[in-house]
Amino acid sequence: MRVFLLVTGVVALAVSSDSRSRRDTFNLRTSGTNLTLLSPWLVFEASESDEGEDLNGDGDLDDWIAHVYDGRSDRMSNLSVNRTTSARIDQNLVAFTVPEYREGTDLNGDGDSLDHVLFVHDSGRGTTINTRVPASELALHRSHVAVNALEEGLDLNGDGDTLDPVVHVVHLQSPVSVRRSRGGDGSASVGRPRSPR
């Protein structure tokens, strides 16, 4: 069993095979902040400037890049994107948002770079997907992510204004629709509504 510790901004790992055995602390040799832990997964941000390395390939050392450490396999994954929210972890899935302004690009196809967009990393498969769903808040349970999508000029809940965060549920086993479209009544939606299975 592995238990994670934070020691003065450096990610460290305490390992114990059972409660009677000796405990050792291993330095993961990576600067880290904004830690989220659900054993065996540790999610954190590494500072490019502290590491002295361009971790996302954009040519600068200004970013804080999301990483996932698997305590079972002792494997570190660089997700190559900035992260702003604390990650949510359930089983092998890690959900988090990425700010478009820090990436310097439109991640959800709405024509601006002002959103925080939901990304999901499948640690078991080693894949990271951009759901293209804007999110200000999120929760994760198995293959479902609930997010608050900001209306940003589209009335997503049909109340006549465009000022609300509107709850959406994304089922990760189904294709995610990213189109923001206006309905005949002037309302809009992000993707299709889905019922949890």
Helix (H, G, I), strand (E, B) or coil at 183: coil
pLDDT digits (tens, 9 = 90+) for 147-176: 988 887 788 899 999 988 899 888 887 544
Which residue type occupies 36?
T
93 beta partners: 90, 122
How far is Cα 22 from Cα 5, in angstroms, rounded to an integer?
Answer: 16
Task: Supply the pLDDT for residue 172.
Answer: 82
Q: Is the pLDDT of residue 54 over 60?
A: yes
Q: Which residue has the higher pLDDT, 102 or 84?
A: 102
Q: Which residue has the higher pLDDT, 189 or 65?
A: 65
| DSSP conformational letter for 111 | S
Q: Is the pLDDT of residue 97 over 60?
A: yes
Helix (H, G, I), strand (E, B) or coil at 128: strand
Q: Is the pLDDT of residue 30 over 90?
A: no
Give the pLDDT band (50/70/90) at residue 23: low
Residue 133 near residue 147, CB atoms below 8 Å:
yes
Count of helix runs (H) and strand runs (E) in the chain: 2, 16
Per DSSP, the residues of 105-137 read S-SSSSS-S--EEEEEEETTTTEEEEEEEE-SE
Q: Is the pLDDT of residue 15 over 60?
A: no
Give the pLDDT band (50/70/90) at residue 186: very low
Q: Is the pLDDT of residue 86 over 90?
A: no
Give the pLDDT band (50/70/90) at residue 126: confident
Task: Supply the pLDDT for residue 24.
Answer: 67
**Residue in this structure with the two tokens 């999901």, named with its chain if needed:** 120
Helix (H, G, I), strand (E, B) or coil at 107: coil
Q: Which residue has the higher pLDDT, 22 or 84?
A: 84
How far is Cα 150 from Cα 46, in angstroms, rounded to an integer?
Answer: 28
Least confidently predicted of 1-5, 66-70, 90-94, 120-124: 1-5
Residue 185 half-sphere exposure, CB side, CA atoms within 13 Å?
9
Q: Is the pLDDT of residue 132 over 70?
A: yes
Least confidently predicted of 36-45, 77-86, 168-177: 168-177
Residue 124 near residue 92, CB atoms below 8 Å:
yes
Task: Supply the pLDDT for residue 189.
Answer: 38
